[in-house]
Structure 1
Amino acid sequence: MSPRHTTPDKDAIALLPLFERLGLDRITLVSSGTQAEQAHAQLLQAGAWGFDTESKPTFRVGEASDGPHILQLATAERAWVFQLHDPQCRSVAATLLAQPGIVKAGFGLGDDRKRIIQKLGIEPQGILELNTIFHQRGYRKDMGVKGAVAVLFNQRFMKSKKAATSNWANERLSESQLVYAANDAYAALRVWQALGTG
């Protein structure tokens, strides 16, 4: 039986030094077919990507989301934020997610997977739910990116609540949205690397 590990609580995490996030100079917004093709070429050079999606929040009862509205993919050097309202971006995003042989690591991906199948019409390949690995290693609590960064790096991962609940369907994403989205994927990749599962 694997040993049981505990995850630091909010108060303990708040005291940790900050995790170094990607700055805007290492984040590429992908909103046209040309940008999507360039991103595709660069991403295929990596054997694993950090992966996440964002959808415009729904606030009314019974309101269905037509998300995801953006897809984030990250390597150890850079992150790409694909805007899925552009048909060419959507097509390249679908090709990337259907690409076999490349690990796409993230947290809480069950919902993302269902929405991707609905929106992009493909079954994503190589999806790795990082929470599953933590469970296998004896962590009982569900692990999100904040807990994982605290456990593996002894650092605090900053997440803006304002950015989290912002409108991801906007054609013009703010700098804070880009930083938030890109770093969710980037941190997931760093966690995957630190777990040594590659």
Structure 2
Amino acid sequence: MEKDSRATEQTGTAAHLGPEVAVEQSVPVSAEDSLALAGRLRRGEQAAAGEFVDRYYERVYLFMRAIGHDRQISEDLTQETFLRAWHHIGQLRDGKALNGWLFRIAGNVSRLHRRRYKGRGTVNIDGFEPAAAGPDESLRVGQQEQFDHLQQAVARLPWKLRQAVVLHYMEQLTITEAAETAGIREGTLKSRLNRGLEALRKEVADE
């Protein structure tokens, strides 16, 4: 189940938080694909289990890294997330909600770890490795500098604001899914998003 996640920490496309701010995000999975995969998982198909891990492992791992866990802890918590998901797949009522359901499990796994170890083994997300060189070195360097600055800005957000930004903008969970993952009301999540975005925009403006 373990994958080489370190080489994937800079993959993805830009998700716009506003006119001046962008972050890395994952390619979304369609509801139809999620429904089909969930059905196969419920039937206990081993091939579906492998596809499930292949499709979501990087996203869950990057989520763990983005909210502050170090590489080793992120790998451990990611694997624990998939083990729990596989064990409780029968509790998933709506297959189209597979994405949000998985990240709720990931959020719970992360919270349990933090309570158990009281924050030990966590780091800021600016510990990510640099992106590989591309054909246009000057463009790559400029994009890398912008991404590094944003990583540092997100890492400096208070934990609750950072979690909201990561869940909704980086992992592309809906407001409902992100709120359920964080264990808060939708209104609270929206408030945290607004405060987080305002803080990020101020950082960009002051650059």
- Whose strand proportion is higher, 1 or 2? 1
- Whose helix proportion is higher, 1 or 2? 2
TM-score (norm 2): 0.24
| Greater relative contact order structure (CA < 8 Å, 6+ sep) | 1
TM-score (norm 1): 0.24
